[in-house]
Homo-oligomer: A and B are copies of this chain.
């Protein structure tokens, strides 16, 4: 059991879109740490970051920086995690990794605390934080699965550019200005940094997030499919995803069709299940035009659910609209929640 007086936390990727949110979340939730180490690539090292009125200097992430670290939150890309997470574990840290590097590793729990907190007991040093679009969907689906079972999920996403990092946010804003002012522009970041072609995102919709797999699905779509099965412990669940990038800065939305294992259930019963569900806020009143929207979800930790309605043909089928802040519940907040759960369950040893 940890003595909280001595808790040393490190954030790897401290200057990125998610890393900055991690630091803010540690501060705003008053996380019981006594030392905070901020790490980054050589390029960003030396930057100053404020934490609870104290100025911290970002240092270069190297193996020895993890000496004495109890919990290391990683969000600096899959390459960095693959290289440095094992080094952190070797030095006694528990790693909460926000990249896709270890998510499908059967020795690594993939955790959304509202869904499968107990999987943390099986960790071997590394715990994976799921993909942003997966997290918000399973938080909304889990209370339904628990009560009624779940056999099928078909999701189409409406994803914000901040999921692709700070450079993508800048690209959206600059490109939008260029278009409104009639200037030429040349896309450089989206849909995928480092892929062959780049496309206009301002006033457009791009049906590609991450690279394509052999089967025609993108890696993002396969993440949603495989991670959902793993987190929910439903290896035989039918899941399909279509992932689309939008000119939205922050806040992912999802149009989710799902089938339960029971017939004769009403939309109202689904609403009731979600009213008391952990991490969920029901925003569902069509008569008053109340439904979730990304601009309203920004800065909030919860998953917002609305537009719940029963399918007109399939008795066990329902539709819903799920929105959350992809940098918070989709990344930073879920990572900090995992760290909180680790403390709560007594899994951080000194």
Interface set of A (CB-CB < 8 Å, partner B):
152, 154, 156, 158, 173, 176-177, 180, 191, 195-197, 199-200, 203-208, 212, 215-217, 225, 238-240, 242, 244, 246-249, 253, 255, 257, 267, 286-289, 291-295, 306-314, 317, 319, 321
Closest chain B CB from A199 CB (angstroms) = 7
24 A-B interface contacts by CB (under 8 A): A156-B255, A158-B205, A158-B246, A176-B180, A191-B289, A195-B289, A197-B289, A205-B248, A205-B253, A207-B253, A207-B307, A208-B289, A215-B310, A216-B267, A216-B307, A216-B310, A239-B313, A240-B312, A242-B307, A244-B255, A246-B246, A246-B247, A247-B247, A255-B255
Interface centre among A208, A240, A253, A291 (most CB of B within 10 A): A240
With contacts A207-B306, A208-B291 taken as known, whether A257 is within 8 angstroms of B286 at the C-beta atoms is: no
Chain B positions within 8 Å of A154 at CB level? 154, 257
The number of times this chain is found in the oligomer is 2
With contacts A173-B180, A240-B313, A314-B238 taken as known, whether A207 is within 8 angstroms of B291 at the C-beta atoms is: yes
Q: B295 contacts A203, CB within 8 Å?
A: yes
Q: B216 contacts A289, CB within 8 Å?
A: no
Residue on B nearest A291 in the bound complex, by CB: B207
Q: A309 contacts B247, CB within 8 Å?
A: no
Residue on B nearest A158 in the bound complex, by CB: B205
Q: A225–B313 Cα gap in the complex (Å)?
A: 11
Chain B positions within 8 Å of A176 at CB level? 176, 180
With contacts A176-B180, A240-B312 taken as known, whether A196 is within 8 angstroms of B255 at the C-beta atoms is: no
Q: A240–B257 Cα gap in the complex (Å)?
A: 9
Q: B225 contacts A321, CB within 8 Å?
A: no
Chain B positions within 8 Å of A244 at CB level? 158, 253, 255
Chain B positions within 8 Å of A216 at CB level? 267, 286, 307-310
Q: A208–B292 Cα gap in the complex (Å)?
A: 10
- The one of B206, B295, B314 that contacts A200, using a Cβ cutoff of 8 Å: B295
Chain B positions within 8 Å of A195 at CB level? 289
